């Protein structure tokens, strides 16, 4: 049966769009080139049997709090989708052993931060309270359809409320880099260290324009909603999405590599698979990187402006993933970390800035910023009883290796296996300084370099998990191109979505939600 919509990809945005359109009653077909669905949503036994690891994406706070999550949550719950929580979403540990935990209770956080430095807790209250007060305006800009009358009306309403000068001042303050926000707003280096690494998870650095605003948004989200994971792993979420889509007559087909999109008279009429199969449809939703869309899928279509823009599109830093199977739960040398979902190992703003700068220059960071997840503490089903798993993400790895900032690891210009394992040794060396007798509980590990991640998912160009650099000239109304308009262009029936399009990366499913709404879902 001819589908109404063909969706290229099966990551979070493809799944959200497919589910919403299927619930509308449309026939949807998701085509995934890999042998398993989910894109960055994979849960696999990659170390030892019965140890279940989220290979890439793990934390679902953006989806849980998103319009897509609100619309699809009850339907997915019927198919086994549920969250696991902790009241301690994040913490930081500095090299000297100092640690600070953020909870989901604002009063507790204010008291803890004020105890470190007078006024820091009050500053936290102002920052997260400001995001809360501006939530309807701020989240409409971060996640809504920017080129639309509702956005125009929203801006006009804000101009009436604040005055033109006041609105301009609001936007000016929102452009502040995280370094400026943290160094002027907080006295305690430990509080600065708590927030500084989070901007890396937005594809930014402490010096990036608007990274301060994103830091405040993340602090607000963590405090308000925590850092939930999916029971059974992110792969279990894919299973729930698939069941919902199939329940409504849709289909997800794996091992189906789309070779090109068929276009006649500037109208999309279907796709052709790598095996030659032709599939006609009413519209195509492509959840792919710009280079894939223009350089491969539309290679036979004359779109000079888009093709030139795709060639100029810049990708950001790579990601490095490291996973451990442990004989028992780790005993942290710092107090209070047992039930924290995500722990950053960093010395603070300068350390985060240094490691991200080294990665952007193609160097293996001498002291990488490390994010450690403890999924077994939230979800004991991830491993055998009494055992443990650790999920490590290094969000400042170079896409192309040009050297080692510490001058210790030999490199040949690629993410070779020896380079990957030597870098993993460096990370492990930092980790074990903070965990009691780590060597005695370590059962197995598995490392994924940026090159490995791209091999798993072709849209992670150079291991970039954010769909491209998130700097200001390539974000908001400029994403992915300066002339972009809500994922649409000169071809009727084609919508470009995914992390490379507005509203950008993360597990919010924002571009898939907007694409489905554009098609009447």
Question: What is the C-alpha to C-alpha distance for residues 521 and 504, in angstroms, rounded to an integer?
Answer: 21
- pLDDT tens digits, one per residue of 239-273: 999 999 999 999 999 999 999 999 999 999 999 99
Residue 326 tokens, joined: 């442990």
Question: What is the C-alpha to C-alpha distance for residues 391 and 329, in angstroms, rounded to an integer?
Answer: 13
Name the H helices within 99-230: 106-116, 120-133, 135-143, 149-162, 164-174, 178-185, 189-195, 211-225
C-beta separation of 427 from 370 below 8 A: yes
> What does the pLDDT read at residue 93?
98
Sequential DSSP letters for 216-268: HHHHHHHHHH---EETT-HHHHHHHHHHHHHHTT-EEEES--EEEEEEETTEE
C-beta separation of 226 from 62 below 8 A: no
Question: What is the C-alpha to C-alpha distance for residues 466 and 453, in angstroms, rounded to an integer?
Answer: 12
Kindly report the backbone phi and psi dihedral angles of residue 66, in degrees, each rounded to the nearest multiple of 5, phi listed first: -95, 165
Q: Which of 457, 359, 395 minimizes the C-alpha distance to 9?
A: 457
- pLDDT tens digits, one per residue of 109-152: 999 999 999 999 999 999 999 999 998 888 888 888 888 888 88
SS3 (DSSP) at 82:
coil
Work out the end-to-end distance of the chain between its first and last CA atoms, rounded to an integer number of angstroms.
21
> What does the pLDDT read at residue 147?
87
pLDDT along the chain (521 residues), means of 10: 95 98 98 97 98 97 95 97 97 97 98 98 97 90 87 90 92 95 98 98 96 96 97 98 98 98 96 97 97 96 94 96 98 97 98 98 98 98 98 96 97 96 98 98 98 97 96 93 90 96 94 96 94
Provide the 10 A C-beta neighbour count for residue 73: 15
> What does the pLDDT read at residue 143?
87
> What does the pLDDT read at residue 68?
96
> What does the pLDDT read at residue 36?
96
Q: Which of 9, 23, 469, 28 minimizes the C-alpha distance to 282?
A: 28
C-beta separation of 119 from 187 below 8 A: yes
Question: What is the C-alpha to C-alpha distance for residues 117 and 337, in angstroms, rounded to an integer?
Answer: 21
């Amino acid at each position: 049966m001819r589908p109404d919509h063909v969706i290229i990809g099966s990551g979070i945005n493809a799944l959200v769009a497919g589910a919403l359109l299927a619930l509308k009653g449309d026939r949807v077909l998701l085509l995934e080139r890999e042998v398993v669905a989910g894109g960055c949503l994979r849960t696999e036994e990659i170390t030892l049997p019965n140890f279940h690891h989220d290979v890439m994406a793990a934390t679902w706070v953006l989806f849980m709090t998103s319009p897509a999550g609100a619309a699809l949550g009850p339907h997915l719950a019927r198919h086994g989708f549920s969250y696991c929580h902790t009241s301690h979403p994040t913490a930081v540990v500095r090299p000297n052993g100092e640690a600070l935990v953020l909870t989901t209770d604002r009063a507790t956080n204010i008291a803890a931060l004020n105890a470190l430095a007078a006024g820091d807790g009050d500053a936290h209250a102002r920052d997260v309270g400001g995001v809360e007060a501006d939530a309807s305006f701020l989240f409409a800009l971060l996640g809504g359809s920017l080129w639309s009358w509702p956005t125009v009306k929203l801006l006009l309403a804000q101009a009436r409320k604040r005055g033109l000068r006041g609105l301009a001042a609001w936007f000016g303050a929102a452009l502040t880099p995280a370094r400026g926000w943290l160094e002027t707003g907080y006295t305690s280096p430990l509080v600065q260290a708590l927030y500084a690494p989070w901007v890396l998870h937005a594809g930014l650095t402490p010096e990036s324009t608007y990274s301060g605003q994103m830091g405040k948004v993340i602090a607000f989200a963590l405090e308000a909603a925590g850092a939930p994971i999916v029971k059974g792993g992110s792969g279990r979420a894919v299973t729930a999405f698939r069941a919902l889509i199939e329940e409504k007559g849709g289909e997800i087909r794996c091992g189906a590599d789309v070779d090109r999109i068929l276009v006649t008279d500037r109208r999309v009429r279907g796709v052709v698979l790598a095996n030659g199969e032709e599939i006609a449809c009413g519209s195509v939703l492509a959840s792919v990187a710009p280079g894939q869309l223009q350089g491969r899928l539309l290679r036979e279509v004359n779109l000079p402006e888009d093709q030139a823009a795709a060639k100029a599109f810049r990708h950001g830093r790579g990601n490095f993933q490291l996973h451990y199977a442990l004989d028992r739960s780790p005993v942290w040398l710092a107090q209070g970390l047992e039930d924290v979902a995500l722990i950053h190992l960093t010395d603070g703003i300068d350390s985060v800035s240094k490691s991200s700068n080294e990665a952007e220059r193609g160097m293996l960071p001498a002291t990488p910023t490390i994010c450690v997840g403890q999924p077994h503490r939230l979800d004991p089903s991830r491993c055998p009883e009494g055992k443990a798993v650790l999920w490590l993400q290094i969000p400042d790895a170079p896409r192309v290796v040009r050297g080692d900032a510490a001058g210790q690891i030999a490199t040949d210009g690629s993410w070779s296996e020896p380079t990957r394992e030597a870098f993993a040794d460096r990370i492990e060396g930092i980790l074990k300084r903070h965990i009691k007798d780590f060597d005695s509980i370590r059962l197995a590990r598995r490392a994924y370099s940026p090159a490995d991640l791209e091999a798993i998912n072709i849209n992670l160009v150079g291991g970039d998990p954010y769909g491209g650099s998130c700097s200001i000239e390539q974000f908001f109304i400029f994403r992915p191109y300066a002339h972009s308009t809500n994922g649409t262009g000169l071809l009727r029936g084609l919508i470009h979505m995914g992390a490379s399009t507005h509203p950008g990366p993360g597990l919010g499913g924002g571009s898939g939600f907007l694409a489905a709404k554009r098609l009447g879902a």
